[in-house]
Structure 1
């Protein structure tokens, strides 16, 4: 005891108000924790739903486009068959012996079957002839001076293009009109008076 004047019965006063923290209501604490946990659960559920949707989309894309490399290779083989048929002279088809005619028919049937199988698996030809040039679907090989056709119109298809679903496997190689009228549709008329 440091105070010599204090009587033994007196206890010194201690100010405890500085050391005491306000009491936290346990119910409020549990409610706050419950709200935080509920928010975490809702966020986790949303993340899982997004993951499920993304996985479904990836699986669907994989199913649709898994054969893209194989389809490109098959297009090369189909093109070779088409070129073989194009170089055959018409008289060979008509006046050839039975073996030659059978060979030609076999090549034609094989080409048709390959085209059918490609179509069965979602590989479709890209429309090009007479269409407005689209750099995402067409590859311009040359320009054709043609004042009768709108400029930018595909006038010749050198090699057919193909798509699988909405993806281009191979763009169509085309010749494009040059020198004709503008390809602007009537509803998009441009006011040149300004």
Structure 2
């Protein structure tokens, strides 16, 4: 009987050992599987990080190109503005040079005849006004109109019961606008009752 008991104990020990080995194998397999999953996760993260890095580099290059394009646009615009200003100045000067020529002629004839000087200056004044009109410059009408602070500058105020309040009765310096925009307001005397 002792042999049977011994065999039974041995069988139980063997069974426990087998169970322990099975548990160890399953645990090792489970750990390996987790390690595999972790390695796969790491590979996915590395791939995603590489893609994000590539996108960042691409966007940085696009930003740098856009910045360079904008700097070039700004430089080109400044050059075009300077060239346009030069063209406008040339046009104005070329329009005014005949007026200067006529002033020189008038001053040359002033020594011989004063009446011719007066006539010449009047003709030059008309010519200058014509040039200014061609360039879009027009005088601002002031006398007999109501005061408008956008077009007039009141430098004197007088009381006159025969005139309505705010009426301009005298222009001390003519104002001008170019293409509808005031470049110099009229200096005026206004009625203020």
**TM-score category of the 2 structures, normalised to the smaller one:** 0.3 to 0.5
Query: Max radius of gyration: which structure?
Result: 2
Larger RCO (alpha carbons 8 Å, 6+ apart): 1
TM normalised by structure 1 equals 0.48
